[in-house]
Structure 1
Amino acid sequence: MIRTLFWRFVAALQFFTRLPLPRDLPQVPFHQSGAIGFFPWAGLVVGLLEAAVLSLALWLWPPTVAAVLAVAFVVLLTGAMHEDGLSDAVDGFGAGWDRMHILAIMKDARLGNYGATALILALGARVALTAALASELGAGSLFAALMAAHAVSRGAVLFPMLVLPYGRAEDTTSRAKPLVEELDYAAKLVATAGVLAPLTCLPPPVALAGLVAAAAAAAAWTRLCAHRLGGYTGDVLGAVQQTGEITFLLGILAAWKFI
């Protein structure tokens, strides 16, 4: 059992990062589908590494420069996977007029005006919020906040997966397809633990504000997908992660002003 959980965690890290991990997993499809519950745990690793890079950079440069370096590190670490999903999803919903057109635009590798604008705003928001964290929080709170942001935002991607069908069931080339198995009870418990673990390191009002903000963003994307697609796609999951991370950081920074 422990060995199975470990390999599922490794599969989640493989999916979300470019860390040098073993690529020849036994029963790869099985571990990929079981990796869903470990999405937040992979986020914990990404957040920990971002916080470490940010803390080291703050020794040499002011918060804004350090934040740029930390965010750039995360983009490299994840292969811009979530950023790509955000830009494709915004392009699709922004320019598409029906389900098939939206899906076709999302599948197109070219970047449109809507997607480019969303990408610039998202990266700018993450840099600004990370710099604000570095300026206002101590080292311990900084690590907790970034780890929680990445864990919660990756936990948020499970929301559309729980309530909507996969929108590209006919597409055998989709990278997300091996992961779109129904979440079992154990996976839900593992994912919940991964989301809650870093939140316990934050003041309860702060943790609640961030969690509610990220949940609201995930719910908004889910409603949009239900209305216009009748399901979700891998690109939408990337968009949920990006907006979840941003709204979580907005929530905790706002709440910190009142404690």
Structure 2
Amino acid sequence: MAGAVVIIKFIKRILAGFQFLTIVPTPRSLYSDDATEIGKSSAWFSVTGLFIGVMSALVWFVAKKFLPADVSCFLVIVVTILLTGGLHLDGLSDTFDAIAARGKSQEERLNIMKSGVSGPIGVAAMIVIIFLKYLLLKNLTAQSAVSPLYILTVFPIAGRFAATACLYLGKSAKEEGLGFVFISNTGLVEILTCGVLTIFIASGANFIFNHISDPLNIIGPPVLTHTGVYIFSMFATAFLQGKFGGITGDHAGAIIEGGEIIFLLAYSC
């Protein structure tokens, strides 16, 4: 009985991650309304990333049979935006708009983000990140050194790991809201769980798609690339805390986008 309770708790936390990171319908009866349980779902963000990655790989695999390679990669971008409802891009846009505001206090920058109005810098940031991601995916899926299915499956996982790292490393800019719930409940257990799960999934994908038999080569690249993603999260979180006095949910969304780019750049070099 105790084991069943633990399993149900884990399932509810995983579903909470889907509820807040995607637009995938999740029956409210299947996940907890408790703030602590919602916040601790950050440990399982990699599972949400895996779902997005599998859908991305599936779309690319099917599309490339009927469409040009560049169109197939474009559809991958579209699918990731649709599955997340553009939530992370919105966070990226709000973050850059607030950073670009000159001579503003931390409180004024937070109010700019809260307004929900996208300014020219925010729109430009979205365009740049989408275009850069498209170019990286196009180049990576055209080369033969690493399986495109591996790249497409894992890059969304890297972004969600980056978000959990941000929530662990940062302090909340506000004592309210969804960002506060996640930040205040993401501790050492959550980041370690997410990190181990991320490496496990990425290594499994590396083994399956790249047909690698050497254990060191199976786990080595995922460890190196996700260490880079963690370091990016560490510096990005410190920078944002300096600008805003803390971290918000929008910042976590921006770091998801950045984490995906870092992963893709690592395999492009």
When normalised by structure 1's length, the TM-score is 0.88
TM-superposition CA deviations, 1:163-216 (whole Å, max 9, x none): 3211021x4xx3434323333454334212221023314345643553244234
CA 111–26 in structure 1, closer or farther in 2 if over 3 Å, else same: closer
The residue number in structure 1 matching 2:226 is 211
1:246 aligns with 2:245: no
8 Å contact from structure 2 (residues 39, 184) kept in 1: yes
Q: For 1:231, what is the secondary structure of its paired residue? A: coil
Which of 37, 42, 47 is the aligned partner of 2:43? 37
1:86–1:115 contact (8 Å) kept in structure 2: yes
Q: 1:35 to 1:47 in 2, by over 3 A?
A: same
Tell me what 2:3 maps to.
none
Q: Tell me the equivalent position of 2:125.
A: 118
Change (3 A) 1:192 1:205: closer
- Between the aligned partners of 1:175 and 1:182, the Cα distance in structure 2 is 11
Question: Is there any run of 5+ residues in structure 2 with no aligned partner, and where?
Answer: 1-5, 207-216
* SS at structure 2 position matched to 1:59: coil
User: Hey, what's the Cα distance between the residues in 2 that align with 1:162 and 1:93?
Assistant: 22
5+ residue gaps, structure 1:
255-259
Q: Secondary structure at the match of 2:28?
A: coil
C-alpha RMSD over aligned residues: 2.1
In the TM superposition, 1:1-259 aligns within 5 A as 1-25=6-30, 27-29=32-34, 30-96=36-102, 97-137=104-144, 141-169=147-175, 171=176, 174-200=177-203, 201-202=205-206, 203=217, 206-254=221-269
The CA distance in 2 between the partners of 1:82 and 1:56, in whole Å, is 26
Contact kept, 8 Å, 1:149 with 1:245, in 2: the verdict is: yes
Letter in 1 for 2:105: D
Q: Is the 8 A contact 1:206 1:251 kept in 2?
A: no
**Count of aligned pairs:** 250
Cα offset for 1:137? 4.2
Q: What TM-score, normalized by structure 2, do the two folds share?
A: 0.85
Give % identity.
Answer: 24
